[in-house]
Structure 1
Amino acid sequence: MKRKNFITLCWISLATSMFFFFVFTDEKTLENFMLTIAISSMYSFVLGAGNGLINDFLNKKFPWSEATTKRAVISIVSILSANIILVYFCNYMNFVVFQKAATTEEYFTGKYNYINWFTINIALLISAFLHAKGFMEELKKTSKKEVVEQKLIAKSANAQFESLKNQLDPHFLFNSLNVLSSLIDENPRQAQKFTASMSKIYRYVLEQKDKELVTVEDELEFAKTYCELLKTRFEDSVDFIFDVKKEDYRRFVVPLSLQLLLENCIKHNFATSSKPLIIKIYSENDTLCIENNLQVREQIKESSGIGLANIVQRYALLTKKNVFIEKSEDYFKVKLPVLSAKPNVVTEKTNDEDQAYERAQKRVKELKSFYGNLISYCIIIPFLIILNLITSPRNIWFYWPMLGWGIGLVAHGMSVFAIGKSWEEKKIREILEKQNHFKN
């Protein structure tokens, strides 16, 4: 037992012993005072420590965050059975051993049933408070842990995305300089023209690389300009065919995706006037396809694979739609998902988190309502029992509110801890699945 809990139970024992000694004890002697302290300490430590140990044990074996329904059922069964045993033990020690007010036979014949029932309700009140406190602490820890995890995930995703975008600058510049160096030897005049055009294109790279998505129209315009530069160098050895639907122009792709794929086509394939490299850019369903006839060039140095890998990873961070790659003996094709709207990753995650938070908030309200109901039951029913026994002991009426409220409390617990909701949720899923099946 923790020192803090031990001190708390000592103070509770002292307070209750002082109350019972000065209010209910006729002979105020030192012997009676010590007896009252001993009895109060017994009740405090046996019931308080017993329920505390049960709660701690269940927290370790069945945490609220991992098995809420299972934990609730086990908690109800364990606290009911444990408190009945502990209360009967405490009352037996009090009335039979300490006070010697009854014999063992008299105690178990039913003479002390009302007192036992009253004490059981008090014990259940203590236990309900401990379990509710444990649940709220567990919920608080879980919420903090989830917030930290989500922040780490968001930071990691942002860092990864920034890293991917920062690859574009040196990658584009390196490849463009390679083309320029080739043109300087082959055609100096074309090299000058290429330099002027490259500055225009590089400006687009600088403007667009920090964006998550750009319109298909902007990307196509840039790709066409870039194709003109490639045409300047390769002339009739390379041919470009654009066949993108007009309705796809206002949709979105990741920036510089076409430029990176065009680079790959040139880099990995040979192109001659007798065997030209034909690159097609066209729409297909909800994708933008970049296809070239396969004329594999022998590579002295193995490719780093930055271009295609960069595109795949950026799409993975922005959407659940995949980049598809098709390769045969005759052609190589990459299918880029075309998005109807800009999917903001942070917004999507935030919406999911908001929905999860709303569900968790609703769940907490339901649980707080149940525990409030349980605590009220444990307070009011014992009060009604005492009132009934004091005012009209021969006319026992407290059974009716105790039974009626108890049935309502059990029903409330069943609904809160999903004993009845699982069937309802299962039925809803079945209906939705049938509706989706008929739609398809």
Structure 2
Amino acid sequence: METKDLRGKFITMLWTSFATGIFFFTFFNDNKSFYNLVISFAISFMYSFVFIMGNYYTNCYLNSKYSWIDDTRTRIILGIISTLFVNVFLVFVCNYLNLIVLQKNDPANFLKGEMGMFNWIIVNVALLFSAIFHARGFMNEWKKASKKEVVEQKLIAKSANAQFETLKNQLDPHFLFNSLNVLSALIDENPEQAQVFTASMSKIYRYILEQKDKELVSVEEEIEFAKTYTALLKTRFEDSVTFEFNVKESDKLHFVVPLSLQLILENCIKHNFATSAKPLHIKISSEDGNLLIENNLQFRENIKESSGIGLSNIVQRYALLTKRNVFIEKSADYFKVKLPILTQKTTKMNTSNISENNAYEKASKRVKELKNFYGSLTSFCVIIPFLIFVNLYTAPEYHWFWWPMLGWGLSIIIQAISVFGISKDWEEQQIQKILNKQN
């Protein structure tokens, strides 16, 4: 036990002993002497020490074996059983020391008459404080789990967004570098085409700047951009490269990762040779919910080492946005890339904060239900023993206390079934389910 915990328990014992000692000395002691006051405090401290430390170690043992969050059902059931047996045992030990050893009462009447009633009252008081003690531990663990899960969700969202931004920021210098290489070659080969290329390049770069902060763009926008880019390529390669677009109109309304077509088209040109005698044919179409880019394979030898930005960039960006995979297929004659066409523009990163807020609201509602239950249980444990005392003190021949105890007890059992899910899967009501790891 840590020093801080020990100090806290000791302070709790002192305050409890002080309060109960004053109470019993005032209302149940006829001889108001200093000696009896000290005895009253000593007896109260004995009860406080035994109950607080007994419940503390019982709680610690159960927590070490069963988690409130991962093994909630088992933890609750064992907590109720252990609380009942431990506190009844501790009550009888303390009462025996108090009533029989210290006060010299007849042991034969320990479970009968006034001593039997005293045992019953102390058992209920002990169970009340034990229930509060366990409820406090449960709420502390629940809050820790809630905060931990929310923090993890935020870290995941921030990490994904940072990674996505890093991948997008690779595109600007990458495109500019390759375009300037093409322009440099055209200036020597054909200055007039270089001017046309420069105008097209400015139009393309404007599109890149417009889409820079977007996670997804429509297929139609990407196709129009690809057509502008292929026109730029045709300026340099003329009839050495042909392009065919055959994308369904219905698919144009959906979404893909921005600049994905440009990177794949650039990849085709970079890794294949193209001549008038052996032209490179590139086809862009759609099928089965995918955007298909296919080219005949004319692998260029002695190619410079790749920068690793092209296809890997597309694959990583899709992985951050959807569970659907980018498919790459290669044979001796052709090379294919299938880009998933997404039907919803809202992505996991866009909805992370919304999902987190909704989950937090559900968790808050759950905590409120638990507070209401433990409030009802606490009231029951306080009021019912008081009613029993009043009944047996004023009219011991008629035990009317059974009616409120049974009625109220039944309502608490029904509330427990609703809150703790005894009739349904409890795991679905835990914070791990409420704050499920969508990422």
Tell me the TM-score normalised to structure 2 length.
Answer: 0.90
Deviation, 1:170, is: 1.0
Deviation, 1:224, is: 0.8
Deviation, 1:285, is: 2.3
**RCO higher in 1 or 2 (8 Å CA, sep ≥ 6)?**
2
Task: Tell me what 2:182 maps to.
Answer: 179
- 1:25-424 to 2 correspondence within 5 Å? 25-103=29-107, 105-108=108-111, 112-422=115-425
Deviation, 1:112, is: 3.1
Q: Report if the CA contact (8 A) 2:157-2:352 is conserved.
A: no
> Deviations 1:36-91 (Å, cap 9, x if unpaired)?
11211111111122223323333343332222222111211111111111111111
Distance 1:331 1:187 in 2: 31
Distance 2:41 2:218 in 1: 81
Q: Secondary structure at the match of 1:396?
A: coil
Task: Tell me what 1:437 maps to.
Answer: none
Aligned residue identity for 1:88 = F
Aligned residue identity for 1:250 = L
Deviation, 1:298, is: 1.7
Q: Secondary structure at the match of 1:2?
A: helix
Q: Report if the CA contact (8 A) 1:216-1:251 is conserved.
A: yes
Deviation, 1:344, is: 3.8
Aligned residue identity for 1:315 = Y
Aligned residue identity for 2:117 = Y
> Deviations 1:390-434 (Å, cap 9, x if unpaired)?
111122232343344434434433443222112998xxxxxxxxx
Distance 1:249 1:300 in 2: 35
Alpha-carbon spacing, 1:293–1:110, altered in 2? closer, same or farther (3 Å): farther
Q: Report if the CA contact (8 A) 1:183-1:190 is conserved.
A: yes
Task: Tell me what 1:14 maps to.
Answer: 18
Tell me which moved more, 223-232 or 139-148. 139-148
Q: Secondary structure at the match of 2:176?
A: helix
Q: Report if the CA contact (8 A) 1:318-1:343 is conserved.
A: no
Deviation, 1:16, is: 1.6
Distance 1:128 1:20 in 2: 23
**RMSD, aligned CA:** 2.2
Q: Report if the CA contact (8 A) 2:9-2:52 is conserved.
A: no
Q: Secondary structure at the match of 1:246?
A: coil
Segments of 5+ residues of structure 2 without an aligned counterpart are 429-439
Distance 1:424 1:368 in 2: 19
Alpha-carbon spacing, 1:246–1:141, altered in 2? closer, same or farther (3 Å): same
Distance 1:204 1:22 in 2: 86
Distance 1:424 1:204 in 2: 49
Q: Secondary structure at the match of 2:253?
A: coil
Alpha-carbon spacing, 1:71–1:236, altered in 2? closer, same or farther (3 Å): same
> Deviations 1:291-348 (Å, cap 9, x if unpaired)?
1111111244332321111111112222232222222222111111222331143442
Distance 1:200 1:22 in 2: 92
Segments of 5+ residues of structure 1 without an aligned counterpart are 426-440
Task: Tell me what 2:437 maps to.
Answer: none
Q: Report if the CA contact (8 A) 1:319-1:343 is conserved.
A: no
Distance 1:11 1:371 in 2: 23
Distance 2:100 2:340 in 1: 81
Runs of 4+ off more than 4 Å = 108-111
Aligned residue identity for 2:43 = I
Task: Tell me what 1:23 maps to.
Answer: 27
Q: Secondary structure at the match of 2:292?
A: strand
Distance 2:26 2:366 in 1: 45
Aligned residue identity for 2:184 = S
Deviation, 1:118, is: 1.3
Q: Report if the CA contact (8 A) 1:213-1:342 is conserved.
A: yes
Deviation, 1:3, is: 0.6
Tell me the TM-score normalised to structure 1 length.
Answer: 0.90
Q: Report if the CA contact (8 A) 2:161-2:349 is conserved.
A: no
Tell me which moved more, 348-357 or 70-79. 348-357
Distance 2:135 2:426 in 1: 26
Aligned residue identity for 2:44 = S
